[in-house]
């Protein structure tokens, strides 16, 4: 009986954000039914205000539950609070509601700016190019179908026209920031998807409102505009869900600098954005509307240049991947051999150092392949730090490394080899969390023209000296002038 009494009910294990999502879905469904059935304002307004309040409380509670000290969740909560104030104002309070709507945009923009800055602290050129392509396409659509027609309406006061175009401009800015935030960020978290839906549901009602003002007789736009408040309510509820979900804590976590590489989905999105400019021209032609040829040509030219830059970055990263070892970050064996056989000035002295990690199989057997990979990465890092500027460090195969030294003497090559040997030997390497292992290397050094007169024989001779180092007991550097143990041996 005691065990039964202490057993918690299944509903108690359901997280708070799931309860909130279920309650929010029910509230949104109720409001949708009221709107679709032309329910009275005295019913619709309280339901809408309740939903917006729930979004505000959800975000504020989420900030506390997830122990967030960032400013961006507070700015989003401020935007929902502005939405709530607008909801509670009387219908004729136009001089007050319009500035509040602009404040709502400002708070959202500031929140996204903070997330972008915290998430991508380093310069990310591929992400900037992607965002520029999408922003130019979105800006062109906004100008041709919204901003331009609004400015052409002659019976509006100039101040009213300027206020009307502020919303499309704000939408374009949100699109630019959202593109910068979401493209190329890997698999999006739940919080990232919720934020994307929130932005979409914040932008769509403004677009529908602007289209309804321009085309009040269009039945399809009128129907969509009638349900725009449903989108506003869904956006407010999503803010609360964003705050309560645990993944909110990691939404602004720094990510690695964006790779020029891109997935199929990302490339498809960029291709679609690139086609929007000629598609806009075609639609305007069919509508017998102004073609905006200079503007569309300029946008096409800019997008083309950006796409060429993006493709150049893709080609560059593919070339980089072809000559870079994925595990260690050093150059590949193929790249090393190409450089060795195409020396710019071999007469100035060239050397090859081959190094092999001693008893590496024992490390793999003891600590597993993950531990072995950790040791390989750390050894590679130390070798790269011990060579001179301009020298080439490569992973030659397995646990073997090759160093190509140009413009060097035999003594200088030996000094570099000794420095690399000591860099590996002097400190243990990490083989896992709280696991360290002593690692040593054996090395063979061959020089041109001191030892051989053919660059192609440098690697063979260095490998021969490396074999001698292994046979003599390992943990040493061997060359034609030097066959010795380390100083502490």
- Interval 332-349: pLDDT, tens: 999 999 999 888 777 788
Q: Are residues 153 and 178 in the same domain?
A: yes
Candidate from 26-30, 46-50, 179-183, 436-440 with smallest mean pLDDT: 179-183
Q: By the 8 A CB rule, do 144 and 280 touch?
A: yes
Looking at 68-72, 86-90, 229-233, which range is the least confident one?
86-90
Q: Using 50, 70 and 90 to split pLDDT, how confident is the model at 261?
A: low
Residue 426 and residue 304 share a domain: no
For residues 410-434, give the mean pLDDT: 91
For residue 93, pLDDT over 80 is answered with: no
Domain interval for residue 234: 13-320
Instruction: Name, in order, each residue with C-beta under 8 angstroms of 107's C-beta and a sequence gap of 6 or more.
Output: 75, 76, 78, 79, 82
Tens digit of each residue's pLDDT (9 = 90 or more) over 404-418: 998 899 899 999 999
pLDDT of the residue at 326? 87
Give 162-192 pLDDT, tens digit per residue.
777 888 888 999 998 888 887 765 677 899 8
Decide which of 320, 355, 374 is a domain's last residue: 320
Q: Does residue 489 belong to any structural domain of this protein?
A: no
Average pLDDT over residues 132-150: 91
Nearest to 270 by CA among 136, 85, 141, 143: 136
Same-domain status, 361 and 313: no
Q: 209-223, 245-259, 351-365, 427-441 — which is least confidently predicted?
A: 245-259
What pLDDT was estimated at residue 444?
94
CATH of the domain at 440: 3.30.70.270
Give domain status of residue 201, yes or no. yes
Based on the fold, state whether residues 161 and 263 are members of the same structural domain: yes
pLDDT-above-90 percentage for the chain: 49
Confidence category of residue 5, pLDDT binned at 50, 70, 90? very low
Are 311 and 356 within one domain? no
Does 93 share its domain with 231?
yes
Is the pLDDT at 482 greater than 70? The verdict is no
pLDDT digits (tens, 9 = 90+) for 193-251: 999 999 999 999 988 888 888 888 888 888 888 888 899 999 999 999 999 999 998 88
The per-residue pLDDT for range 272-282, each reduced to its tens digit, is: 888 999 999 99
pLDDT per residue as tens digits for the range 285-336: 998 988 899 999 999 999 999 988 888 877 887 888 889 998 998 999 999 9
DSSP string across 339-407: HHHT-S-GGG-EEEEEEEETTHHHHHHHHHHHHHHHHHHHHHHHHHHHSPTT-EEEEEETTEEEEEEES
Residue 137: Cβ-neighbour burial (10 angstroms; 0-12, 13-18, 19+): buried
Q: Are residues 315 and 337 in the same domain?
A: no
Distances (CA, A) of 300 to 281, 346, 440: 11, 50, 59
Q: Which of these three, 288, 320, 352, is where a domain ends?
A: 320
Check residue 485 and give its pLDDT: 41
What local confidence, expressed as pLDDT, does residue 488 receive?
Answer: 42
């Amino acid at each position: 009986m005691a065990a039964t009494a202490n057993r918690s009910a299944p509903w108690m294990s359901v997280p708070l954000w799931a309860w909130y999502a279920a309650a929010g879905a029910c509230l949104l469904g109720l409001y949708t039914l009221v709107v679709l059935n032309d329910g009275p304002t005295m019913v619709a307004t309280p339901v809408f205000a309740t939903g917006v309040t729930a979004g505000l409380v959800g975000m504020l509670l989420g900030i506390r539950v997830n122990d967030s000290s960032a400013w961006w969740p507070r700015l989003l909560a401020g935007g929902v609070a502005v939405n709530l104030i607008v909801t509670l104002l009387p219908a004729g309070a136009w001089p007050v509601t319009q500035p509040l709507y602009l404040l709502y945009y400002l708070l959202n923009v500031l929140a996204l700016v903070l997330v972008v800055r915290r998430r991508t602290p380093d310069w990310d050129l591929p992400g900037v190019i992607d965002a520029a392509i999408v922003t130019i396409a979105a800006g062109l659509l906004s100008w041709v179908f919204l901003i331009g027609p609004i400015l052409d309406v002659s019976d509006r006061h100039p101040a009213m026209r300027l206020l009307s175009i502020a919303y499309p401009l704000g939408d374009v800015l949100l699109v630019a920031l959202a593109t910068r935030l979401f493209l190329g960020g890997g698999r999006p978290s739940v919080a990232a998807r919720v934020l994307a839906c929130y932005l979409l549901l914040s932008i769509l009602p403004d677009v529908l409102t602007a289209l309804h003002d321009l085309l009040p007789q269009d039945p399809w736009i009128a129907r969509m505009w009638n349900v725009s408040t449903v989108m506003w309510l869904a956006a407010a509820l999503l803010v609360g869900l964003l705050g309560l979900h645990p993944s909110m804590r990691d939404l602004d976590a720094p990510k690695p600098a964006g790779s020029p590489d891109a997935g199929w989905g990302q490339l498809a999105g960029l291709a679609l954005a690139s086609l929007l400019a000629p598609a806009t021209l075609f639609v305007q032609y069919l509508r017998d509307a102004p073609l905006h040829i200079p503007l569309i040509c300029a946008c096409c030219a800019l997008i083309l240049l950006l796409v060429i830059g993006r493709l150049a970055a893709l080609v560059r990263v593919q070339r980089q991947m072809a000559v870079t070892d994925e595990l260690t970050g050093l150059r590949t064996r193929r790249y090393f051999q190409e450089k060795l056989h195409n020396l710019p000035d071999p007469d100035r002295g060239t050397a090859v150092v081959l190094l092999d990690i001693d008893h590496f199989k024992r490390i793999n057997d003891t600590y597993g392949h993950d531990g072995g990979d950790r040791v390989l990465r750390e050894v590679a890092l130390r070798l790269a730090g011990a060579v001179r500027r301009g020298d080439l460090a490569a992973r030659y195969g397995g646990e073997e490394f090759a160093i190509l030294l140009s413009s060097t003497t035999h003594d200088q090559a030996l000094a570099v080899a000794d420095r690399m040997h000591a860099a590996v030997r002097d400190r243990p390497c990490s083989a896992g969390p709280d696991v360290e292992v002593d690692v040593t290397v054996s090395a063979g050094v061959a020089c041109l023209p001191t030892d051989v007169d053919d660059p192609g024989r440098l690697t063979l001779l260095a490998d021969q000296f490396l074999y001698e180092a292994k046979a003599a007991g390992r943990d040493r550097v061997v060359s034609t002038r030097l066959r010795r143990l380390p100083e502490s041996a």
